[in-house]
A = this chain, B = another copy of it.
Amino acid sequence: MAIPRAAKTQRRTRIQEEKEERILEAALDVFSSSGFRGSTIDQIAEAAGMSKPNLLYYFRTKEAIHRQLIDRVLFTWLEPLRAFDAEGDPEAEIRSYIRRKLEMARDFPRESRLFANEILQGAPHIEDELKGPLKELVDEKAEVIRAWARAGKITGCDPYHLIFSIWATTQHYADFDVQVRAVLGQESAGEGRFEDAARFLEQLYMDGLRIRAD
C-alpha cells in the first residue's frame, strides 16, 4: 500500500532523492526554455527518462515542481548580492559583484532564464518573495552604496538603479544569449564573449565612456 508522495515516514529514500533530483534537473531544462505554461509534464517526464505517472508519484503537480525549482534558484541567485560587503573596498566589491554575476550567467544560464521567464510573465508564483526578502536585501545593500557615496568613496548615484543595471547587463548574456550570439556572429563562437563583456562592463562601471568634449 502506497501513501507515497513525500513519504509516510519522514525519512526520504535513496531512490526518492535520486529521482527527485533527476526530475528537477529535467524540469529546469524544460521550464527554462518554454516557460511554465508552455511546458508539459510529458516533456519533463521524457527528459527525466521516466513515465508521466511515475514523475507524478514524486511531485503531485506541475506547479509543485516549478515552485521547488524557483525557490532554489531564487536563493542561489542572490548569493552574490548577499556577499556584497559593506566593509570592503567599493571598487573591489562592485568589480567582484559584476564578475560573479557574469560567471553565473555563463555557468547557469538555465537558472537565469527560468527566473526571467517567471518575471516576464508577471511573477505569479513569487511576487511575495520579491516584495519581501528580495526587497529587504536590496534595501540593505543600497544603504551600503549610499554610505560609500556619503564617505566620498564613490560618485553619488541612485543605488537601486545601479543594482538594476548590473542585473540587467550581466543576465542579458544568459537570457538573450541567442541574440548575442546572432549579432556577434560565429567567428566569436567560443566563450570569449564573456571575457569581452567582463572587460567592457568593468570599464563602463569604473570610468564610463569618458566622453571628451570636442
Contact = CB atoms under 8 A, between A and B. Distances in A.
Nearest to A132: B182
B168 A176 contact: yes
Contacts of A33: 120-122
A162 to B, nearest CB: 7
B211 A208 contact: no
Contact of A209 (B94, B116, B135): B94
Classify chain A: how many residues form its interface, as a range: 35 or more
Nearest to A32: B120
A116 B90 CA distance: 33
A201 to B, nearest CB: 7
A175 interface: yes
Contacts of A164: 169, 172-173, 176, 180, 183, 197
Interface of A: 33-39, 89-91, 94, 113, 116-117, 119-123, 127, 130-131, 134-135, 138, 152-155, 157-158, 160-162, 164-165, 167-169, 171-173, 175-176, 178-180, 182-185, 196-197, 199-201, 203-214
6 contacts: A34-B37, A116-B120, A123-B178, A127-B178, A130-B179, A157-B203
A179 B123 contact: yes
B205 A161 contact: no
Contact of A210 (B34, B94, B169, B207): B207
